């Protein structure tokens, strides 16, 4: 009898060992996206803009100045990323390189570029006609490709969001945004107006109205509109 009970106990232990879940079992897959912002996203890729200037003994030519003017106009439309001027080494005459680089920097500053945003570096050219390269990093926004999967909205039995819902909106934002870098990080704020802040605080301490005075031109009534 004791032997039978001992064998039965071994059988139960064996069954329990077989039913034990392995600690290395793979975790469950991530849940599917629920909101359109989770399903569709805008891809922001760096897109360097470079302008190559030929080295001249007299510095910048008028054609190069016109090209730099257009370059600055494009730079003004971005988040004012640092501009790098690359001077070639072991190639053109260094005196001519210096005049071209100095002329390019002076022209950028004269066009409104902050001198602290202009950086001059060198690169190993090895060619006599190597150019001076002026460039900055801009970004390109890439939206999702819509219209690849269409389903019948009336036959949605899972009570989930429509597959294409939000795709066109996200694609339009990617196509219309003026500065894709704004999707990566916010722009710097201008310094606060300390004088205006003191005025508001003084009125607050005195218990006065801190809002701006109402303009008389803002007065109006529905009955007098259009007269």
Burial of 168 (0-12, 13-18, 19+ CB in 10 A): middle
Q: Residue 62's domain is classified under what CATH number?
A: 3.30.1330.60
pLDDT in tens, 13-43: 454 554 444 444 445 566 666 677 778 889 9
Q: Above pLDDT 90, what percent of the chain?
A: 31
Q: Which residues contact 72 (CB under 8 A, 6 or more apart)?
A: 108, 111, 112, 113
Last residue of a domain, one of 111, 138, 165: 138
pLDDT tens digits, residue range 186-203? 777 778 888 888 888 998
CA terminus-to-terminus distance, the chain? 112
Distance CA 109, CA 30 (A): 52
Same domain, 95 and 149: no
Residues 89 and 170 in one domain: no
The tally of domains found in the chain comes to 2
Rounded to whole angstroms, the Cα distance separating 82 from 105 reads 13
Cα separation, 143 vs 170, in Å, equals 6
CB-CB neighbours of 108 under 10 Å: 22
Position 65 scores a pLDDT of 93
| Distance of alpha carbon 128 from alpha carbon 90, whole angstroms | 8
Q: Is pTM beyond 0.75 here?
A: no
What is the residue range of 111's domain?
A: 47-138
In this structure, are 131 and 159 located in the same domain?
A: no
- Give the angle subtended at the CA of 108 by the CAs of 182 and 122, to the nearest 5°: 90
Please check whether residues 72 and 154 belong to one and the same domain: no
Q: Classify residue 70: in a domain, yes or no.
A: yes
Distance CA 1, CA 10 (A): 14
pLDDT in tens, 86-119: 999 988 888 999 999 999 999 999 999 999 999 9
8-state DSSP, 211: S
Residues 93 and 156 placed together within one structural domain of the fold: no
Residues 67 and 123 both lie in one domain: yes
Same domain membership, residue 129 and residue 56: yes
Whether 134 and 151 share a structural domain = no
Q: Is 39 left (phi over 0), alpha (psi -120 to 50) or beta?
A: alpha
In a domain, 220, yes or no: no
In a shared domain, residues 84 and 162 = no
Cβ neighbours, 10 Å, residue 174: 20
99 and 171 share a domain?
Answer: no
Whole-number Å distance between alpha carbons of 60 and 53? 8
Residue 84 lies in a domain: yes
């Amino acid at each position: 009898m004791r032997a039978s009970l001992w064998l039965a106990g071994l059988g139960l232990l064996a069954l329990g060992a077989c039913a034990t879940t392995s600690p290395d079992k793979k975790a469950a897959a991530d849940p599917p996206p629920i909101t359109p912002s989770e399903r569709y996203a805008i891809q922001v890729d760096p897109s360097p803009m470079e302008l190559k200037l030929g080295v001249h003994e007299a510095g910048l030519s008028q054609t190069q100045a016109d090209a730099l003017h257009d370059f600055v106009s494009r730079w003004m439309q971005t988040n004012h990323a640092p501009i790098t001027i690359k001077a070639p080494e072991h190639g053109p005459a260094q005196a001519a390189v210096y005049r071209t680089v100095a002329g390019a920097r002076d022209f950028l500053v004269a066009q409104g570029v902050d001198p602290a945003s202009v950086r001059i570096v060198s690169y190993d050219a090895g060619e006599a006609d190597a150019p001076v390269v002026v460039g900055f990093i801009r970004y390109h926004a890439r939206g999702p490709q819509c219209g690849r999967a269409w389903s019948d909205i009336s036959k949605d039995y899972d009570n989930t969001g429509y597959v294409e819902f939000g795709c066109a909106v996200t694609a339009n934002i990617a196509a219309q945004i003026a500065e894709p870098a704004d999707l990566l990080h916010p722009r710097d704020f201008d310094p606060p107006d300390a004088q205006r802040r003191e005025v508001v605080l003084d009125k607050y301490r005195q218990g006065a109205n801190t809002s701006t005075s109402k303009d008389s031109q803002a007065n109006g009534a529905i009955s007098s509109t259009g007269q």
